């Protein structure tokens, strides 16, 4: 029987551009061995993209590979492959998808082979798993590893000491390593130039994300948001292309605001905004469209999310600063959402609920993520208490399709939406017309 | 009469509740959820209508002074005879379908023998049917599928043996036929069946012959009251499959919260253990849900777990609780995995543990899991209402009481005998609010 073609998703122009940017990066990685370009693998939160660009590295981001593979329904097999190799069911599924992909020939999401990296740069340790992940990968690639240790914001502040510690590592360890591996001399003016582009893109991104304060919100700051943060969280921050992309995106959204339009979903424009939510936690990638549909078909729009901050928190004023190029890299790494402690996260999420006039906080807790799922129920209670708005909790996974139970998630979401509706209608006495 | 109907389509059973304009319950009904949700909800609604009719009949008959002192007995007999009528109707249907199914390639050469064996089997089934519905008779279940199934197996096996036929063939015919019978509606002539049951009942009350006309008329009057289906709200696991539009569907979490509030207005925390999910719900003083937690994709420790255990022990589901209550000690069991339930049970038996002690442990294990959900939802607040099918299980209730006391001290625990209808009651209340 011929396979039924999946329905074509309706996308904004910016989404198409974003898609081709990501595809270009995979092509660059594929070509790297032929063009003798050096390759670095590094993680999204706290990535030093501008710095890496100074050494002409092609940038490979394993989480992006895993999520892109998941959206193409490929991670199930990869995860099983990793499990066959001895990794237990509870291990982070990003890790297993990556290891499984390598075991199956290291063919990337676009069908092009991924190169063997020349360097593994671990620039963030807020998630302990990252360290273990590279330890496992290093075994196989037998390549050099550099680690930038970023102190955790345990007390909710970045002290001068913490900043100096990161700067010192950058100057004395990371930059010399990058020079040695790449054979390119470090040029601080080149870095300044990239940082200028970053700041421009960041300015526009913040504008776009904050446009969700409008009613109706012109964007979905979670499902749409993951497209928007794609370039800046991956290998494009600092590039001219990214700055252009965000300027274009901003124009697109400005137009939507002007016309009073809601977000674009895969099935077209959302006709009515019924619920405004703040979401904590990454989306599920294996059933991304199905998951999104559970929201938009009920008229639920996500107006702010913490996931769109994991690769950099910009909405409280931080911008990459070309005048203090090394220090700004340190501040960026220290300030990523993943490096914030629970009280800080509670502050931020409560603030979002208030400022974006949301109906409440929804947490999508990731089953195989031990670092960030810990304490989420506490977060939920705290935000509920502070804002007086009801919260809800769902559980899925990043890229393991076995962990997505559609009926269960839908049940909880529908209950949550109906709960919000009930609350809104007020505590009408029993029997009173609703 | 305006009626507001709530239907709770659960994974195991489907429940319906009918309320009148003043939110007074007119009737409730239950059936097994089958592959056809549409039929399941219609049957549940029909059962609730039967119950409502019986209640109206009771009300109508209570006005006849000559019946005083005998009314309860009369009504019980009426209900039993009605159930018998209902059973006979389905049985006739089943026989017809079985006979139609006893032909074809598979049964070649045995058709004649099978037809005869079926005639004999159903004759015997019909003959013993009145005993199944006699006063004080105990049935493992009230659902036609269960009663007819267990009796067909027992009688059919003997008949097949006598006829020199392989019982497998008889079994195959039954399996194919019961699904067909179950998935079509019977009892559309409800009023007629009640009248028939009434006549059969009055035969046993010869001393009332003087007022029999009066009784018949009173029953007729009650049956003539029009029950207008004003608004229906569906809920439960299968709610999306109900033939209702979106406005007529509510989440079971909201329905259980509101249903518990209607039953016990001081309720602040609700625990519902259903067939496939367990829900811990916090409600405000108007029964509106504040927060909730439910089990994820795994149904470990839910009602279905007890179902498997019952199957494994070859017992009826409702026999588990009483057996567990006989325990002298509680075996510690940590696994509530439904899939491993059988293995766990056999392991324990092999270790020489007593069945009742193991069962006691299994009940505690279920409740422990529920306690974890409760704490994640914000803990137990006073008053605490336990709902769902498992709330009818005394061993589970016992374990819950002990663990609540241990963890939260003295808390008022409400358990309504009709707790299985909580979701449907909430849905019916929503139906009333919607108009």
* Predicted confidence (pLDDT) per residue in A331-376, tens digit: 999 999 999 999 999 999 999 999 999 999 999 999 888 788 889 9
Q: Which chain A positions have a beta carbon within 8 Å of B432's beta carbon? A: 431
Is the predicted pLDDT of residue B187 greater than 70, yes or no?
no
Contact assignment for A408 to B297 by CB distance below 8 Å? yes
End-to-end C-alpha distance for chain B, whole angstroms: 15
Q: What is the pTM of this model?
A: 0.83
- What is the DSSP code string of A96-160? HHHHHHHHTT-B-TTSPBPPPPSEEEE---SSHHHHHHHHHHHHHH--EEEE-----BTTSS--H
Q: A191-213 pLDDT, tens per residue?
A: 999 999 999 999 999 999 999 99
Helix, strand, or coil (residue B4): strand
Nearest residue, CB atoms, B254 vs list A391, A405, A418: A418
What distance in Å separates the CA atoms of residue A412 and residue B251, rounded to the nearest whole number?
8
A57 falls within a domain = yes
Is the predicted pLDDT of residue A241 greater than 90, yes or no?
yes
Is the predicted pLDDT of residue B206 greater than 90, yes or no?
no
Is the predicted pLDDT of residue A99 greater than 80, yes or no?
yes
Taking any CB pair shorter than 8 Å as contact, residues of chain A touching chain B are 377, 381, 384, 390-393, 395, 403, 405, 407-408, 410-412, 414-415, 418-419, 422-423, 427-434
How much is the pLDDT for A125?
A: 75
High-pLDDT (> 90) share of chain A, %: 85
Average pLDDT over residues A292-309: 97
Q: Which chain A positions have a beta carbon within 8 Å of B290's beta carbon? A: 390
Q: How many CB pairs under 8 A join A and B?
A: 74
How much is the pLDDT for B238?
A: 73
> Strands, E, within A285-359: which ranges?
300-305
How much is the pLDDT for B135?
A: 83
Per the prediction, chain A carries an average pLDDT of 93
Is the predicted pLDDT of residue B25 greater than 50, yes or no?
yes
How much is the pLDDT for A96?
A: 96
Q: Which chain A positions have a beta carbon within 8 Å of B262's beta carbon? A: 430
For residue B52, the distance in angstroms to the closest alpha carbon of chain A comes to 21
Overall domain count for chain A: 1
Average pLDDT over residues B397-423: 94
A135 with A41: CB under 8 angstroms? no
Contact assignment for A415 to B288 by CB distance below 8 Å? no
Kindly indicate the confidence band of residue B335, based on its pLDDT and cuts at 50, 70 and 90: low
How much is the pLDDT for B139?
A: 73
Residue B378: closest C-alpha in chain A: A381
Q: Which chain B positions have a beta carbon within 8 Å of A415's beta carbon? A: 251-254, 289, 292
A251 falls within a domain = yes
Contact assignment for A430 to B429 by CB distance below 8 Å? yes
Taking any CB pair shorter than 8 Å as contact, residues of chain B touching chain A are 23, 237, 240, 250-254, 261-262, 277, 284-294, 296-297, 376, 378, 429-430, 432-435
- A42-56, A251-265, B40-54, B343-357: least confidently modelled range: B343-357
A96 falls within a domain = yes
Rounded to an integer, what is the distance from CA A334 to the centroid of its chain? 16
Q: Which chain A positions have a beta carbon within 8 Å of B433's beta carbon? A: 428, 430-434
- Mutation site, A284, A388, A419, interface B, largest B CB count within 10 A: A419
**Tokens in use for B124?**
């015997």
Q: Which chain B positions have a beta carbon within 8 Å of A403's beta carbon? A: 297
For residue B282, the distance in angstroms to the closest alpha carbon of chain A comes to 11
Contact assignment for A411 to B378 by CB distance below 8 Å? no
ipTM surpassing 0.85, yes or no? no
Kindly indicate the confidence band of residue B67, based on its pLDDT and cuts at 50, 70 and 90: confident
A6 falls within a domain = no
Q: A34-69 pLDDT, tens per residue?
A: 999 999 999 999 999 999 999 999 999 999 999 999
How much is the pLDDT for A385?
A: 94
Contact assignment for B433 to A403 by CB distance below 8 Å? no
Q: Which chain A positions have a beta carbon within 8 Å of B291's beta carbon? A: 384, 390-392
Highest mean pLDDT among A157-171, B233-247, B390-404: A157-171
- Domain span at residue A165 reads 13-424
Is the predicted pLDDT of residue B45 greater than 60, yes or no?
yes
Per the prediction, chain B carries an average pLDDT of 88
Is the predicted pLDDT of residue A1 greater than 50, yes or no?
no
Helix axes A288-296, A406-424, angle to 10 degrees: 20
Is the predicted pLDDT of residue B340 greater than 70, yes or no?
no
Q: Find the helix or strand (DSSP H, E) in which A403 lies.
A: none
pLDDT higher at A414 or A2:
A414
Candidates B387, B302, B416, B421; CA nearest to B14 is: B421
- A304-313, B311-320, B361-370: least confidently modelled range: B311-320
For residue B279, the distance in angstroms to the closest alpha carbon of chain A comes to 10
Is the predicted pLDDT of residue B302 greater than 80, yes or no?
no
CB-CB neighbours of B158 under 10 Å: 13
Contact assignment for A381 to B433 by CB distance below 8 Å? no
What distance in Å separates the CA atoms of residue A112 and residue B324, rounded to the nearest whole number?
61
Q: Which chain B positions have a beta carbon within 8 Å of A422's beta carbon? A: 254, 288-289
For residue A222, the distance in angstroms to the closest alpha carbon of chain B comes to 23
Q: B373-385 pLDDT, tens per residue?
A: 899 888 999 999 9
Cα distances (Å, whole numbers) of residue A72 to A110, A143, A307:
9, 29, 21
How much is the pLDDT for A163?
A: 97
- What is the DSSP code string of A241-291? HHHHHHHHHHHHHHHHHHTT---EETTEE-----EEEEEESPPPSTTHHHH
Kindly indicate the confidence band of residue A301, based on its pLDDT and cuts at 50, 70 and 90: very high
Helix, strand, or coil (residue A401): helix
């Amino acid at each position: 029987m011929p396979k039924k073609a999946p329905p074509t998703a309706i996308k904004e122009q910016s989404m198409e551009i974003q898609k081709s940017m990501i595809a270009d990066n995979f092509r660059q990685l594929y070509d790297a061995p032929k063009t003798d370009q050096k390759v670095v693998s590094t993680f999204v939160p706290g990535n030093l993209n501008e710095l890496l660009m100074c050494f002409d590295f092609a940038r490979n981001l394993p989480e992006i590979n895993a999520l892109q593979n998941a959206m193409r329904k490929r991670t199930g097999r990869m995860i099983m492959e990793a499990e066959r190799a001895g990794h237990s069911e509870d291990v982070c599924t990003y890790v297993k998808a990556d290891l499984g992909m390598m075991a199956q020939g290291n063919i990337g999401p676009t069908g092009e082979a991924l190169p063997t990296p020349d360097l593994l740069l671990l620039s963030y340790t807020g998630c302990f798993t990252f360290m273990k992940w590279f330890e496992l990968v290093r075994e196989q690639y037998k390549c050099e590893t550099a680690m930038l240790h970023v102190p955790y914001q345990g007390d909710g502040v970045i002290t001068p000491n913490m900043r100096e510690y990161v700067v010192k590592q950058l100057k004395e360890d990371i930059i010399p390593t990058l020079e040695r591996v790449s054979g390119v001399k470090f040029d601080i003016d080149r870095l300044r130039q990239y940082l200028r582009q970053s700041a421009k893109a960041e300015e526009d991104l913040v504008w776009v994300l904050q446009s969700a304060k409008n009613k109706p919100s012109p964007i979905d700051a979670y499902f749409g948001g993951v497209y928007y943060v794609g370039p800046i969280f991956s290998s494009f921050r600092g590039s001219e292309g990214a700055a252009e992309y965000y300027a274009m995106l901003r124009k697109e959204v400005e137009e939507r605001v002007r016309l009073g339009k809601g977000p674009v979903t895969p099935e077209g424009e959302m006709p009515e905004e019924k619920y405004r939510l703040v979401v904590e936690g990454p989306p599920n990638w294996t059933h991304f469209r199905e998951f999104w549909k559970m929201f938009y078909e009920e008229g639920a729009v996500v107006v702010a999310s913490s996931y769109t901050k994991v690769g950099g928190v910009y909405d409280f004023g931080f911008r990459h600063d070309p005048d203090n190029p090394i220090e700004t890299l340190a501040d960026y790494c220290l300030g990523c959402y993943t490096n914030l402690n629970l009280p800080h996260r509670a502050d931020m999420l409560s603030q979002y609920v208030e400022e974006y006039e949301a109906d409440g906080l929804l947490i999508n807790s990731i089953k195989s993520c031990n670092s960030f799922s810990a304490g989420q129920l506490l977060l939920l209670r705290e935000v509920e208490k502070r804002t007086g708005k009801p919260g809800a909790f769902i559980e899925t996974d990043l890229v393991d399709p076995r962990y997505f139970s559609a009926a269960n998630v839908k049940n909880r979401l529908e209950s949550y939406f109906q709960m919000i509706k009930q609350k809104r209608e007020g505590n009408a006495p029993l029997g009173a017309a609703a | 009469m305006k009626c507001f109907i709530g239907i709770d389509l659960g994974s195991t059973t489907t429940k319906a509740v009918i309320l009148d304009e003043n939110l007074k319950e007119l009737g409730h009904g239950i059936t097994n959820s089958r592959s056809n949700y549409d039929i399941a909800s219609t049957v549940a609604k029909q059962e609730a209508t039967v119950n409502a009719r019986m209640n109206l009949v009771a009300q109508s008959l209570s006005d006849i002074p000559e019946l005083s002192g005998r009314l309860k007995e009369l009504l019980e007999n009426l209900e039993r005879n009605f159930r018998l009528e209902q059973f006979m109707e389905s049985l006739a249907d089943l026989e017809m379908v079985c006979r139609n199914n006893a032909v074809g390639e598979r049964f070649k050469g045995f058709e004649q023998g099978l037809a005869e064996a079926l005639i004999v089997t159903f004759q015997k089934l019909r003959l013993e049917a009145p005993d199944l519905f006699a006063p004080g008779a105990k049935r493992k279940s009230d659902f036609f599928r269960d009663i007819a199934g267990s009796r067909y197996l027992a009688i059919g096996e003997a008949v097949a043996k006598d006829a020199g036929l392989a019982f497998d063939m008889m079994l195959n015919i039954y399996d194919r036929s019961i699904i067909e019978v179950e998935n079509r509606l019977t009892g559309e002539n409800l009023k007629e069946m009640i009248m028939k049951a009434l006549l059969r009942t009055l035969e046993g009350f010869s001393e009332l012959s003087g007022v029999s006309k009066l009784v018949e008329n009173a029953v007729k009057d009650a049956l003539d009251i029009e029950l207008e289906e004003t608004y229906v709200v569906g809920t439960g696991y299968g709610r999306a499959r109900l033939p209702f539009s979106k406005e007529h569907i509510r989440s079971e979490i909201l329905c259980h919260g509101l249903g518990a509030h209607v039953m016990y207005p001081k309720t602040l925390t609700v625990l519902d253990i259903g067939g496939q999910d367990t829900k811990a719900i916090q409600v405000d003083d108007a029964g509106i849900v504040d927060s909730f937690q439910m089990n994820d994709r795994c149904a470990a420790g839910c009602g279905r777990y007890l179902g498997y255990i019952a199957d494994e022990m070859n017992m009826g589901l409702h026999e588990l609780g009483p057996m567990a209550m006989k325990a002298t000690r509680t075996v510690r069991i940590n696994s509530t995995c439904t899939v491993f339930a059988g293995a766990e049970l056999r392991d324990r038996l092999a270790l020489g543990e007593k069945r009742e002690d193991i069962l006691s442990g299994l009940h505690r294990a279920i409740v422990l899991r529920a306690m974890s959900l409760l704490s994640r939802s914000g803990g137990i607040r006073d008053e605490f209402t336990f709902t769902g099918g498992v709330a009818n299980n005394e061993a589970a209730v016992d374990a819950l009481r002990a663990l609540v006391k241990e963890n939260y001290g003295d808390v008022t625990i409400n358990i309504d005998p009709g707790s299985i209808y909580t979701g449907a009651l909430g849905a019916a209340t929503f139906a009333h609010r919607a108009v």
